[in-house]
Amino acid sequence: MKLQMIGCSHHDAAVEFREKISFTSDQVSKALNAFRQRFPTSEIVLISTCNRVELYTTAGDNSELDRNGVAEFLADQHKLNADEVVDQMIYRAGSEAVEHLFTVAASLDSMVVGEAQILSQVKQAYDIACNSGSAGPLTHSVFQAANRAAKRVQQETSIHRRRVSVPSVAVGEVATEVFDTLHNKRVVLCGAGEMGGETLRYLKQAGASDICIINRSRDRAVALANTFSAESALWDDLQEQVVGADLLIGTTSATEPILDKATFLPLHGKRKNRLLLILDLAVPRDFEPSIGELSNVYLYGIDDLQSACDRNRRERQKEWPKAKQVISEETQRLMQAFHHKATGPVIQRLREHAQDLKNDELERLINKLHLEDLDPSAQKEIEKSFDRLINKLLHPPLASLRDDAAELSLIHI
């Protein structure tokens, strides 16, 4: 039985194609059941995220479940042409499929290398496969090993601890450095677009609970607030919200600053010199830079944050070889375990048979030459000579057996 992967990601397929073959969380379980009905003896785990769709399946040596078989299944699920699916999907088998999965789980294949979300997505895909009964002995072993490999990368490198997106640096490095905690801080977020949503996610992860969203379109502010259990306010209430804020964040697409220094000065007086951290993530900028010159106001613009991102990205690149080495070691470790499982019983039988022959021949030699009264040390030396001869005779076939197993691109169980 072999492990194979067919799939695509942001590396090799356009988003338009990935959208065509992606699965919602509700569709995944149905697809797994349909796959098992079509290929009853197979195993399957299906990973579907916004950046990748990958099917990890098993098949016998002479099975119809090859690259084309999986592609045809995908095409049927989404009513696409099978040739179109085959042309835009990559294929990996055996150790290459294992190494690819380990690389994905460790977030070394992600659009943002080191982002932590992918490991939980891989785990979720495996859990769904377990619950649906589509996982089996081989996929159990491989996905459990993938989790182990990803954890080693997290523990032995700093690749996950270097933030490389502007919102993650703004919240995870700047805000948490200025404030001991965000739990009791009033956060006012201006803008309800993609940048605002990503920033909110990091704010919640950092413990912020008192968050107000302001947006020119009130409906979008309300929708985003509901998603993240936050508040929303009218755009006209911006100045009032600034007075009560501890952390003010700008993520709008406004062409002019939404708050200039002249407007801010009276608000600054009402704040009674309370510390205010302003994170301006917008391009063009949401806040006039000179606001940061006022007492107890700390303003970080996009350039400040981007330079931190670039620095962290360079540090991540330094960790890349170490992370890849971990993946290589874990892949080899799993492959050796499979090879040992495949060849172990054969090797044991050969050694036991050789040992029986040795004992028979040694007993015949002692009886024929009347060596019963021979010095025990001399008898021991004769026995060692037999053992050395057996080891020398067995070494070539056993080495060949191990090499043949190691060279197979299929993983046997």
Residues classed as catalytic = 50
Sign of the alpha-carbon torsion through 137, 139, 143, 145: positive
Over the Cα atoms of the chain, what is R_g?
A: 31
Tokens found for residue 58: 């098993």
| Dist CA 381 CA 274 (whole Å) | 89
Sign of the alpha-carbon torsion through 204, 209, 215, 217: positive
Give the closest residue to 112 by CA, choosing from 160, 156, 157: 160
| Dist CA 10 CA 26 (whole Å) | 23
Whether the CB-CB separation of 408 and 94 falls below 8 Å is answered with yes
| Dist CA 328 CA 319 (whole Å) | 15
Tokens found for residue 31: 């697809």
| Dist CA 10 CA 2 (whole Å) | 26
Sign of the alpha-carbon torsion through 9, 10, 15, 17: negative
